[in-house]
Amino acid sequence: MNQIKIGVIGLGYVGLPLARLFATKYSVVGFDINKERVAELMSGTDTTLEVSDQVLQSVLVKRPSEDIGLYCTASLSDVLNCNYYIITVPTPVDKNNRPVLTPLIKASETVGSLLKEDDIVIYESTVYPGATEDECIPVLENFSGLEFNKHFFAGYSPERINPGDKEHTVEKILKVTSGSTPEIGKKIDNLYNSVITAGTHLAPTIKVAEASKVIENSQRDINIAFVNELAKIFNLMDINTYDVLEAAGTKWNFLPFKPGLVGGHCIGVDPYYLAQKAQELGYNPEIILAGRRVNDGMGNYVASEVIKTMIKNDIKIKDAEILILGITFKENCPDVRNTKAVDVISALKEYNTDITIFDPWASVDEVKNEYGLESLNKIPEKKFDAIVLTVGHNEFIGMNLDALKKKVSIVYDVKNVLDKSIINNGL
């Protein structure tokens, strides 16, 4: 093969860190249909905060070329000369929790129109086992006019990005790789191994690699559902769940999962991909779907517990002013995709309460566009009947909540990060 030139399709939370990493050794063209996103990146700034401005600027080049570095573009003509294409678009679910492969299919159409003989297409998006070969490859063949495993090849290397995690960055997470033939598998593995310092694991088939990814988050989802159910039980028994988990955690093989709201683009989504595939094959995945039901119901549970706590403290519910601390899907991260804090807010609004959202990490415009909600980046200058911490941002830990409380008010802590002496209830 000629000199390696990589095209990364999709420059979000997954694509950009990967493109930046490959750009330290190869010529990389990052493609995204969002022109504003491309312009932002070429100016040397990443608003997702996954890549620092200094690191991003160190790899940027001014034009697509054979030189080592990263060029970001919204023009397909700039991606023509690549021989590796890595697709990193999102794979969401719809309102009925059915997998939505549209972004993946559209990206496959785009890459298919660019394919040349001997090119290799690698998928990183989380899917159910078989999706790459059954759904994506036919699209590549149709749009390229080339024959799979004769004129072009494919692989799958599931993303393991943890948004907001500055310790487990892409190069420090062991990478699973796979290829459509044994030879292509080795080529893809060598490519990733050249930049992933944590090393790689070459899976025997694409389906094995796909399955390994989708069960990673399904396993976490089920474990979190278990401790969420424990939290509900212990709350009825007036026992602090975190005290129980701390005590149980003294045993060497106890798994350290904590209760909470399970959102985001991975844990709250991936199990549905595996579940749907299982159902198509005639099997009903009881444990996977039970875990999903528990976790999807936690927003309503938190809201009902907040209301109960307010009633116990003789706080009038109608028109009560409630402050929500955090709207992102996890702490110290600006990502608001599939955040379950929204479920808490929606449920509280059903009681005719007045909600104020404060989150120093979230984009006000993104929250408005995504959910139709108004949020603040600065602490509001008013007092509240209830304060509900839904996200454990560092800024909230040690925050002076007394200045935000009315004479009679309650504090509910979903994440167990506040001083126990100031909270009235929590998971």
- Distances 271 to 27, 98, 296 between C-alpha atoms, Å: 35, 11, 12
Distance CA 396, CA 399 (A): 5
Both 74 and 198 in a single domain? Answer: yes
In a domain, 125, yes or no: yes
Both 319 and 194 in a single domain? Answer: no
Both 173 and 72 in a single domain? Answer: yes
Both 302 and 205 in a single domain? Answer: no
Both 197 and 64 in a single domain? Answer: yes
Question: pLDDT tens digits for 303-312?
Answer: 999 999 999 9
Q: Tell me what pLDDT residue 327 has.
A: 96
Both 69 and 206 in a single domain? Answer: yes
Q: Tell me what pLDDT residue 1 has.
A: 45
For residue 356, the cross-strand partners are 323
In a domain, 14, yes or no: yes
Owner of token pair 């929606």: 346
Both 201 and 311 in a single domain? Answer: no
Both 208 and 301 in a single domain? Answer: no
| Number of structural domains found in the chain | 2
Instruction: Identify the domain boundary among 212, 227, 261.
Output: 212
Helix (H, G, I), strand (E, B) or coil at 87: strand
Q: Tell me what pLDDT residue 421 has.
A: 87
Catalytic entry in 72, 82, 266, 333: 266
Mean of per-residue pLDDT scores for the chain: 94
- Average pLDDT for 115-136: 96
pTM: 0.91
Question: pLDDT tens digits for 387-398?
Answer: 999 999 999 998
- Nearest CA among 375, 385, 378, 401 for reference residue 321: 385
Long-range contacts of 253-258, Cβ-Cβ distance < 8 Å, separation of 24 or more: 255/223, 257/220, 257/223, 257/224, 257/226, 257/227, 258/224, 258/227, 258/416
Question: pLDDT tens digits for 10-68?
Answer: 999 999 999 999 999 999 999 999 999 999 999 999 998 899 999 999 999 998 877 89
Both 200 and 315 in a single domain? Answer: no
Q: Tell me what pLDDT residue 2 has.
A: 60
Residue 153 clears pLDDT 80, i.e. is over it: yes
In a domain, 389, yes or no: yes
Name which residue leads in pLDDT, 93 or 6. Answer: 6
In a domain, 189, yes or no: yes
Question: pLDDT tens digits for 231-287?
Answer: 999 999 999 999 999 999 999 999 999 999 998 778 888 999 999 999 999 999 999
Both 12 and 150 in a single domain? Answer: yes
In a domain, 12, yes or no: yes
Question: pLDDT tens digits for 166-184?
Answer: 788 899 999 999 999 999 9
In a domain, 32, yes or no: yes
Sign of CA dihedral 29, 172, 137, 103: negative
Structural domain that includes position 113: 5-212
pLDDT band at 420 (very low <50, low <70, confident <90, very high): confident
Q: Tell me what pLDDT residue 374 has.
A: 95
The answer to whether 323 and 405 are in contact (CB under 8 A) is no
Q: How many helices (H) and strands (E) does the chain have?
A: 14, 13
Tell me the Ramachandran region of residue 282: left when phi exceeds 0, alpha when psi lies from -120 to 50, beta otherwise: left
Both 178 and 304 in a single domain? Answer: no
In a domain, 156, yes or no: yes
- Residue 333 is a catalytic residue: no
Pairing mode, strands 5-9 and 27-31: parallel
Q: Which residues contact 310 (CB under 8 A, 6 or more apart)?
A: 317, 320, 385, 386, 410
- Nearest CA among 83, 90, 91 for reference residue 111: 83
Both 195 and 314 in a single domain? Answer: no
In a domain, 366, yes or no: yes
For residue 30, the cross-strand partners are 8, 72
Q: Tell me what pLDDT residue 248 has.
A: 96
Which CATH number covers residue 335? 3.40.50.720
The angle, 0 to 180 degrees and rounded to 10, between the axes of the packed helices 286-296 and 206-236 is: 50
